[in-house]
Amino acid sequence: MSSLASPHQHHKDITILFLKHAPQAGGACGLDELVKDIRALGSTFIKFSQYISCRGNCLPRRYQEALLRLDAGQQEGQQLIESPDIIEAIVEEELGKKISQVFSYFSPEPYAFASAGQIHRATLHTGRDVSVKVQRPAIRHAIVDDLKNLADIASFLDGQQFGSPKGKFGKLVEQFRLQTIRELDYRREAKNFAELGKHSIGSPNIEIPVVLEELTTSRVLTTDLLDGSTVSSAAQLGEAELERESLADDLVQSYLDQVLVAGVFHAEPNSENLWITQDRFISFCEVPSLMRTGHHFREPLVQLLTGIDKNQPEEIAEAVLRCSEFASSKEEDHDSLIQDMTQLIEAEHGLALSHVSVGMKMLKAFHACAPLGIAMSDEVTAVARGLSAIAKTASEICENFDLTQSIRRYLESFENEIDHMPIPFPNPLSRVV
């Protein structure tokens, strides 16, 4: 989740980044290099860049477009492997027992990596095979340092003329800080696994691992064994094209079910968080956070997806407004706003292009309407980011996968069944689980 560079080094790296890429410098080094430089800072900065890339007029448009390319699994450099002695000490401290008392076998080497830790194979004395995720000992301090650096950046940006309300960046960093700190508690992630598993029952080829709560603490998470490989290693599968297509389609259908039926969905479905098991199931190996969509978002989201599929700018504008936090009290104001939004969306390059994913088209529509004061809710921007990640992941599973056709089939089925569906979760008090 974060590189382990010293706070002083990160401050220096950040200063250099701003000197190279600040708008006052004219972006002389190019946006591709900006993306590369942010990746080198580590995944805390990558995730924050993703976080602000979807939020209105936070940054000049070209910067937001560039930041959308970032993926939390794209951190530069090799993964740090902690020594077996350190891992054993953490597990024993967290579980309050010698490792030999809990496990008949515990692999000293990790077989996979997590955003803030590493994952080890183990076997209980009952013979049950499990995965044990152990948080790296220095990661919390490193992330806290990164968050302090982000707060310094926010203070600087709030003093610049970016067209954003005063204090905007500081508020965004504080929201991001709270979310990030929550994600460091594996007990919260255990609850996310349980809730996602409950709503994935019946989804074909989707398998959510069961958490062993008695062997889970804030820094150790134990689940049934995840035996397979990450989706990012899908090229090694050797599956027939039809089988790959079926897996990708099941992933898309399941994710849309999470959003539109269950009302609770994985907030970061990137290829590093998804596994293909030995039994050819798709499984989530990490669920750091879930997002919820209230039932009032169901129809506008369907309208938005349908409008994008059929390239209907006015329908997209109406749906974006319904999904936004903008309130218009007069009908003439509403009609005028829809007209202005439609014109901006019609002029948006990329919305009509077949190679641009649905999630990315949603984000482009949001960006196009931002100058009119249209601010999207966290839930809806999370849906767009999630669909963008799902598109990338599906294409890694099956190179020639037709995402548009998969979503179209889902929407046709959904519209036939919507009148008979239960209302999903009510509006939550807290949006992020």
Sign (positive or negative) of CA dihedral 119, 123, 125, 128: positive
Q: What is the mean pLDDT of residues 219-240?
A: 77
Residues 144, 38: contact at Cβ < 8 Å? Answer: no
As a dihedral over the C-alpha atoms of residue 236, residue 241, residue 242, residue 244, rounded to 10 degrees, the angle is 30
Q: Quick one: which H or E segment has residue 195?
A: helix 186-199
How far apart are the C-alpha atoms of 111 and 121, rounded to whole Å?
7
pLDDT of residue 421 exceeding 60, the answer is no
Task: Using the structure block, give the residue that is written with the tokens 């996979």.
Answer: 112
The DSSP result for 210-252, as a single string, is: PB-GGG--SSEEEEE---EEEGGGGGGS---HHHHHHHHHHHH
CATH for the stretch 84-135+185-225? 3.30.200.20
Residues 160, 169: contact at Cβ < 8 Å? Answer: no
Q: Where are the beta strands (DSSP E) in 286-374?
A: 290-292
Q: What is the mean pLDDT of residues 39-56?
A: 81
The DSSP result for 126-176, as a single string, is: TS-EEEEEEE-TTHHHHHHHHHHHHHHHHHHHHTS-SSPPTTHHHHHHHHH
Confidence of residue 237 (pLDDT cuts 50, 70, 90): low
**Region at 240 (left for phi over 0; alpha for psi -120 to 50; beta for the rest):** beta
How far apart are the C-alpha atoms of 116 and 41, rounded to whole Å?
15
Give pLDDT tens digits for 61-112.
778 778 877 765 555 445 678 999 999 999 999 999 999 999 999 999 999 8
| Three-class SS state of 399 | coil
Q: For the chain, report the end-to-end CA distance as a whole number of angstroms.
A: 18
Residues 113, 75: contact at Cβ < 8 Å? Answer: no
How far apart are the C-alpha atoms of 365 and 308, rounded to whole Å?
9
Look up the pTM and report it.
Answer: 0.82
Residues 269, 393: contact at Cβ < 8 Å? Answer: yes
Task: Using the structure block, give the residue that is written with the tokens 């479905």.
Answer: 269
**Per-residue pLDDT, 4:** 52
Domain boundaries, the chain: 7-77+138-183, 84-135+185-225, 242-280+287-433
Give the tokens for residue 203.
Answer: 């989804």
Give pLDDT tens digits for 164-191.
556 678 888 998 999 899 999 999 999 9
